[in-house]
Amino acid sequence: MTRPDITVGILALQGAFLEHKLHLQKAIGHASPGSSLDTTNFEIIEVRTPEQLASADALVIPGGESTAISLIAERTGLLEPLRQFVRVDRKPVWGTCAGLILLSDEASKAKKGGQELIGGLHVRCQRNHFGRQAESFECNLPLPFEGEEDHPFKAVFIRAPIVEKILTSADATADVTEGVVRAPKMDRELFDRTEIEVISSLPQTQGKEAGDIVAVRQGNIFGTSFHPELTPDVRLHAWWLRECVLGRSER
Q: What is the pLDDT of residues 138-169, one digit of tens each?
A: 889 888 775 566 678 889 998 899 999 999 88
Indicate the pLDDT class of residue 227, thresholds 50, 70 and 90.
Answer: very high
- Range with top average pLDDT, 110-119, 122-131, 182-191, 217-226: 217-226
Residues with catalytic roles: 97, 227, 229
* Cα–Cα distance measured from residue 220 to residue 218, given in angstroms and rounded to the nearest whole number: 6
Please give the residue that has the higher pLDDT: either 74 or 112: 74
Q: Is the pLDDT of residue 131 over 70?
A: no
pTM as predicted? 0.92
Indicate the pLDDT class of residue 171, thresholds 50, 70 and 90.
Answer: confident
Query: Which amino acid, one-letter code, is at 1?
Result: M
pLDDT reported for residue 203:
80
pLDDT reported for residue 91:
96
Indicate the pLDDT class of residue 173, thresholds 50, 70 and 90.
Answer: confident
pLDDT reported for residue 142:
81
Give the side-chain half-sphere CA count within 13 A for 33. 0
∠ CA(215), CA(16), CA(33), 5° rounding?
Answer: 70
Q: What is the pLDDT of residues 183-197, one digit of tens each?
A: 998 766 655 667 899
Instruction: Over range 93-121, report the average pLDDT.
Output: 89
Which candidate, 27, 91, 29, 40, places its Cα nearest to that of 61? 91
Distances (CA, A) of 12 to 21, 60, 69, 167, 198: 10, 9, 9, 29, 27
Parallel/antiparallel/unpaired status of strands 213-218 and 221-224: antiparallel
Q: What is the pLDDT of residues 197-212, one digit of tens each?
A: 999 998 876 766 788 9
